[in-house]
Structure 1
Amino acid sequence: MISWRKHYKQTLVAIGLLLSTSASIYGQDGDPKNGEKLFKANCTACHALDKQVVGPPLKGVVERVKTEGGKDTEWLHKWIKNNKEVRESGDKYANEIFEKFNKTEMQLFPNLSDKDIDDILAYTTNPPAPEPAADKKTATQGAEATAAPASNTTTNVVIISLLAIAALLVWILVKLRQLVKLGQSEDLAGLNETRVKSFSEVYKKYHYVGKGLIAILALLATYGVWNWIMWIGVYKGYKPEQPIYFSHKIHAGEQKIDCQLCHSSAKYGKVSEIPSMNVCMNCHKAIGEYNAEHYMEPGKDKAFYDGEIQKIYAATGWDPVKQQYTGKTQPVEWTRIHNMPDFVYFNHSQHVVAGEQAIINSFNKKNPTNKIDVVCKACHGKIDTMNVVQMANDFTMGWCIECHRTTEVDMNNGYNKEYFKNLHDKLKKQYPKDGGKITVDAIGGLECGKCHY
């Protein structure tokens, strides 16, 4: 009996040591939940758990390096912190990996502690089960339950409308029958005696009223034609469908991407160009699917957004499986939204560089409850809230002139301070309004040749 207990205890100790060793080898001594956070913050730009992105899939990486290269977690620690140093040491397996993935330099992570790396490896070895999402079936049933009363209401309205039309038709038939009977009676002759024989008699009797109505109609018609002519070429609210769906709300709003990262010539060029597809690929080489499930537009799902990313790959000729360009590209025919007429000169750099702070200050002064933080929004509206970009302003000559008349020149701007240093006093005397404040119209903002040449 004593012997059995002794062997039993020894067996338990051996199993415990084996499990602890196995856990250490396979990264299970870390915290998978914390590892998931660290993985998303540091690794997802180049890696996914279950598929190749820029680098290989990382699910089961501890077991894989052990099987393929005979490496342990200590080697993985060194590789993650400074893979370049490991390769330069002559490590055969490290250099094989480097060659296999097109000699793509992996980012160094000296900032990650051993505990952080253990947590990440624990996550890749045994990812925690995702939290249960809301029951879609229940949500659908709730939506159907909500939609049911609306559907019933619509049906009731249609039925009532049809009954009303039927009642009106019956009433008309009754009246027609009465008229037929009246035409067959002697009373009709008496009515004919008092009835006006022609339109000319009516006009003679009420010609002053008729002339007045004609004059009013002529004025209204003239105003309508004039108003129609004045709004030719004004497309405020215009938001065409583009060949590839691009949401500024997701990119500029949710992800806080700066406007000039994509529209690089808006600040220093005359025209703010449409970004090339290579600009998109700077990010979407590593982002092959839509994972921001916390934000989706009504009527759109993950499959829709993933499909639009695939359109980017098709346009640039990118093969996401082989992680290389095929050379087969497809041009994207974007629909232009903002387009100045050929006879209008407008320079983006002049407004963004020299007029940036002045325009922001002027806009915020006129719109205290709807302030802006970047100059782009003064003309283009709050782009970071738009899923589909639309023309936010009139972009008429009157709209531009009004801006020039009300925007105060920033005389503290380095350019203006130097350029107008000999004109300050003269301008303040010439334009004494608002305590000598100088608006754009005072420095040539209303001269025809500034915009038309």
Structure 2
Amino acid sequence: MISWRKHYKQTLIAIGLLLSTSASIYGQDGDPKNGEKLFKANCTACHALDKQVIGPPLKGVVDRVKTEGGVGKDWLHKWIKDNKALRASGDKYANEIFEKYNKTEMLVFPNLSEKDIDDILAYTTNPPAPEEKKTPEATAGTEATAASPADKTTTNIVIISLLAIAGLLVWILIKLRQLVKLGQSEDLAGLNETRVKSFSEIYQKYHLIGKGLIAILALLATYGIWNWIMWIGVYKGYKPEQPIYFSHKIHAGENKIDCQLCHSSAKYGKVSEIPSMNVCMNCHRTISEYNGKYMEPGKDKAFYDGEIQKIYAATGWDPQKAQYTGKTQPVEWTRIHNMPDFVYFNHSQHVVAGEQAIINSFNKKNPNNKIDVVCKACHGKIDTMNVVQMANDFTMGWCIECHRTTEVDMNNGYNKEYFKNLHDKLKKQYPKDGGKITVDAIGGLECGKCHY
């Protein structure tokens, strides 16, 4: 009895030690799932798991620092929290890494707790397997396979029905021909021989009607030619393919990137120029593959990754060495919006001075299709376009109509001061709608404003 109790106590002690050891191991190793969230939030700007970005790949970093520098997790905790202080302390391995990666200083993360860092390191040691996602194409293919027998049956029924209708029509035509032959008497045959058979005879008989028809046709032809000429250069709906696929829906729509981050000249200059490839590389230097949730129908991750590689080829960026090679390839973009040489249009005037006035006017005229950015008034809802297209006519009449209906914002600092002495005069001159002043009242219809 005493022996049994002794072994029982030993067993309990052993189980307790095992549980405590397991708990301590788990606490030390961390939670990979939480580590994945922390990694994506704090590390992906400079690091990836399996390839070099700005910094080295971090998969297996715990084993790597142990092998290379003979250091462990405690060292990694110090490095992540404040690598600058660690280097200043004279740590040999820390300074070696700093020199190895071109003296690129890593950010400090004093906000991360010890557990947070353990979770991140657990993720780099044993990243969770990615969940399989069913693509729309696969789902559609399954549905198509399931529905294929029913589709074949329906197709056969339609073909048989059409053949039956065609046979019935042929039979009706034959019967009608027989009835016509039976009903044609000798008197009717003689009358057919006396009918007018030449065009000249018909014209002589009905020349007044003929001249009237010719006049109408001439007017219609003239109108058609005039209408065709008037629409030369109007390319609403034009959306050419570009040498590098760029989806505004992904960038401006899904990722909420401000238009002026790329098209900065629209706010400060006449032309909203095409951004240089260096602007693309501000982000894509660290984004070498597409991991977004949205995908355009017919496109997959491999397609988007391939387009990013085209950016690297154009700029001469080597993602493996994280440096430029100096070998660039100019990108021949196809221009979509292009004003004629005889038209002056200043983007900054509309984007800065007219921003709120244009937005208010557009939303008033389109209550069910409101906009939040001034660019959309002319270029359409660009944040929903995978391929950019010309959303409006961009004719002179279209511009004039906008100037006639857009109310000037007299409360902004510029207009309030500049038109200080003109307010009363303009209100008397334009008393409609309680003295509201539209762009045409301040020179918006003057020829010299746009044609110089």
TM range (shorter): 0.7 to 0.9
Distance 1:19 1:73, change over 3 A: farther
Q: Deviations over 1:106-152 (max 9, x none)?
A: 12212212222121112112222323xxx889945754536856963
Deviation at 1:3, TM superposition (A): 9.9
2:159 aligns to what? 159
Q: 1:208/1:318 Cα in 2 relative to 1: closer, same or farther (>3 Å)?
A: same
> How big is the shift at 1:214?
3.0
1:237·1:390 contact (CA, 8 Å) conserved in 2?
A: yes
Instruction: Call closer, same or farther: CA 1:147–1:182 in 2, change over 3 Å.
Output: farther
The residue matched to 1:27 in structure 2 has which SS?
Answer: helix
Judged with a 3 Å threshold, the aligned counterparts in structure 2 of structure 1 residues 257 and 181 are, in CA distance, closer, same or farther, namely same
174-183 vs 184-193, greater mean Cα deviation: 174-183
Query: In structure 1, how many angstroms separate the alpha carbons of the residues matched to 2:439 and 2:24?
Result: 70
Which residue is equivalent to 1:43? Answer: 43
1:75 is matched with: 75
The 3 A distance-change label for structure 1 pair 413 and 111 is same
Deviates more, 1:377-386 or 1:45-54: 45-54
In structure 1, C-alpha distance between the alignment counterparts of 2:133 and 2:31, rounded to whole Å: 30
Sort the Cα spacing of 1:90 and 1:303 in 2 relative to 1 into closer, same or farther, 3 A: same
Is this contact kept in 2: 1:405–1:441, CA < 8 A?
yes
Is the Cα contact below 8 Å between 1:409 and 1:439 reproduced in 2?
yes
2:179 counterpart residue number: 179
Q: What is the CA-CA distance between 1:345 and the residue it aligns to?
A: 0.6
Percent identity, please: 92
Deviation readout 1:47-100 (Å, 9 max, x if unpaired): 111222221121221222222222222221221111111112111111111122
Aligned counterparts, 1:352-431, within 5 A: 352-431=351-430
Gap change, CA 1:176 and 1:371, over 3 Å in 2: closer
Alignment deviations for residues 388-441 of structure 1 (CA, whole Å, 9 cap, x no partner): 011111111011111111111111111111211111111111111111111111
Bigger Cα displacement from structure 2, 26-35 vs 13-22: 13-22
Deviates more, 1:222-231 or 1:166-175: 166-175
CA contact (8 A) 1:27 1:119 kept: no
Q: Which runs of 5+ in 2 are unaligned?
A: none
Shift of 1:313: 0.3
Return the offset for 1:29: 3.8
Label 1:141 to 1:428 Cα distance change in 2 as closer, same or farther (>3 A). closer
Shift of 1:317: 0.4
Going from structure 1 to structure 2, the CA distance change for 1:377 and 1:154 (only over 3 Å counts) comes to farther
Structure 1 residue 209: Cα displacement: 4.2
Contact 1:27 1:62 in 2 (8 A): no
Deviations, residues 187-224 of structure 1 (Å, cap 9, x unaligned): 88525334323223333444454344333333322222
Would the alpha carbon gap of residues 2 and 331 (structure 1) be closer, same or farther in structure 2, given more than 3 Å must change? farther
Q: Deviations over 1:324-352 (max 9, x none)?
A: 11111000000000100000111111111
Distance in 2 (CA, whole Å) between partners of 1:212 and 1:9 is 120
Cα RMSD after superposing both structures: 3.5
Is the CA contact 1:31–1:122 (under 8 Å) kept in the aligned structure 2? yes
Secondary structure, counterpart of 1:90 in structure 2:
coil
SS of corresponding position for 1:28:
helix
Distance change >3 Å, CA 445–CA 97, structure 1 → 2: same
Distance 1:421 1:103, change over 3 A: same
* Contact preservation (8 Å) 1:26, 1:121: no
Distance 1:127 1:349 in 2: 49
Q: Return the alpha-carbon distance in structure 2 between the equivalents of residues 343 and 369 of structure 1.
A: 35
Residues 1:98 and 1:208: Cα distance change in structure 2 (over 3 Å): same
Relative to structure 1, the CA distance from residue 10 to residue 222 in structure 2 (aligned partners, 3 Å threshold; closer, same or farther) is farther
The 5 Å alignment of 1:128-139 reads 128-131=128-131, 139=138
Mean CA deviation greater in 136-145 or 272-281:
136-145
Change (3 A) 1:170 1:64: same
CA contact (8 A) 1:363 1:372 kept: yes
Q: Which residue of 1 aligns with 2:53?
A: 53
Contact 1:27 1:73 (C-alpha < 8 Å) held by counterparts = no
Q: More displaced, 91-100 or 145-154?
A: 145-154
Partner of 2:437: 438
Deviation at 1:290, TM superposition (A): 0.7
Determine if contact 1:27/1:125 at 8 Å carries over to the other structure: no
Which of 365-374 and 116-125 deviates more? 116-125
Cα distance in 2, alignment partners of residues 143 and 215 from structure 1: 62
**Cα distance, 1:195–1:178 mapped onto 2, change above 3 Å:** farther
Structure 1 83/152 Cα, relative in aligned 2: closer, same or farther at 3 Å?
same
Structure-2 change in CA distance of 1:336 and 1:51 (3 Å) = same
Equivalent residues of 1:27, 1:121 under 8 A apart: no
* 233 and 307 in structure 1: CA distance in 2 versus 1, 3 angstrom threshold: same
Q: 1:23, 1:29 within 8 Å by CA — same for their partners in 2?
A: no
Whole-angstrom CA distance in 2 between matches of 1:4 and 1:40: 54
Q: Secondary structure at the match of 1:57?
A: coil
For the Cα contact (< 8 Å) 1:29–1:122, is it kept in 2? Answer: yes
Higher mean alpha-carbon deviation, 55-64 vs 347-356, is at 55-64
Q: Quickly say closer, same or farther: Cα 1:391–1:321, change in 2 above 3 A.
A: same
Do the aligned partners of residues 103 and 182 (structure 1) sit closer, same or farther apart at CA in structure 2, a change above 3 Å counting? farther
How many corresponding residue pairs?
A: 449
In structure 2, the CA distance between the partners of 1:372 and 1:40, relative to structure 1 (3 Å rule), is: same
Deviation at 1:307, TM superposition (A): 0.3
- In structure 1, list runs of 5 or more residues that go unmatched: none
Equivalence for 1:2:
2
